[in-house]
Amino acid sequence: MTTASNLQSSASCILFVMNDINPSVEPEFNEWYQTEHVRQRMQIPGFLSARRYRALGDSQAYMAIYACEDVAVLEKPAYQAILVEPTVLTKKMMPHFRNMVRSACHETWSAGTGLGGEVVVLRCAPKPGQAQAARDFIAKGLYPQFAKANCLVRLALWEASSSAGAAPSPEEARRGGPDQRVQWVLFFETYDLKNCEALLEQPAIQQALAQQGILIEAQSSYRLISTFEAETTK
């Protein structure tokens, strides 16, 4: 059962993005992202909210997550049009992106309410034939351990869509290469990052994840730097 999300309670789709940026344009990149790029998307019907994060360790330097009503929003003309014909500044910035990760995901489960100022992101995948066992473990085994550990605000599971966002985006050519994709994302929103990270690093937790069919591909930590809400009126 999915509880209310502070991305937006009506969201069923998360557009998940990570990237590095050419250091020579980083100040301009941040100004563009804050004042144009995200706001443009917040004006598209079906986009509900967005957050930006900065990495706290060795990972892609920036992460953005967009909450949408459903994955169909990403296939509609209003969104596709800005990918095909971006703004002048977008065209300028795209070649400076590095190590891009981009996937449209279904939020299939979450527990907890609130917005954590820091997050731990596990990019992972279920072992073949063990997806449902992995989901059950996340809800009934993993979440309870973190819920009682005095660190967790909210935990969510995002599973990549097999349709929306699976094909190359028109922006990928402007970035000079294909984007990386995720299969699953476990998104730990926390108010005590060190405690959350330490719990994840415990051998018992690592062993349980492996035994329950969850293959960890990457782990990274981020701090929230800004939030946005939809600028459209339904």
- Cα dihedral: 84, 60, 10, 87 (round 10): -30
Start-to-end Cα distance in the chain: 27
| Residue 209 · residue 216 · CB < 8 Å | yes
Place of tokens 């997806």: 131
Yes or no: domain 13-229 corresponds to CATH 3.30.70.100: yes
HEC-encoded secondary structure of 7-52: CCCCCCEEEEEEEEECHHHHHHHHHHHHHHHHHHHHCCCCEEEEEE
HSE-up of 168 (CA within 13 Å, CB side)? 10
Q: Is the dihedral of CA 138, 49, 43, 20 positive or negative?
A: negative
- 58: phi then psi, degrees, rounded to nearest 5: -85, 90
The lowest-confidence range among 33-42, 81-90, 99-108, 171-180 is 171-180
Question: What pLDDT score does 232 carry?
Answer: 63
Task: Say how many C-beta atoms besides its own lie within 10 A of residue 114's C-beta.
Answer: 12
How many angstroms separate the most distant Cα atoms in the chain? 51
Task: Enter the tokens of residue 13.
Answer: 């789709």
CB atoms under 10 Å from CB of 145, counted, come to 14
Token pair 């405690």 is found at 195
Residue that the structure tokens 């998307």 belong to: 41
Q: Is the pLDDT of residue 233 over 90?
A: no
Query: Can you give the pLDDT at residue 18?
Result: 98
Paired tokens of 189: 């929103």
pLDDT confidence of residue 7: 45
- Tell me: the pLDDT tens digits for 102-140? 999 999 999 999 999 999 999 999 999 999 999 999 999
Give the pLDDT confidence score for residue 169 in this predicted structure: 80
Report the residue count for the chain: 234
CA distance 178 to 233: 34
pLDDT of 51 above 60: yes
- Closest by CA to 63, choosing from 27, 87, 99, is 99
pLDDT tier, 58 (very low <50, low <70, confident <90, very high otherwise): confident
Whole-prediction pTM value?
0.92
Q: CB neighbours of 200 closer than 8 A, spacing ≥ 6?
A: 120, 122, 188, 206, 219
Q: Using CA atoms, how far apart are residues 29 and 22, in angstroms rounded to an integer?
A: 9
Write the CA distances from 101 to 16, 39, 63, integer angstroms: 8, 20, 9
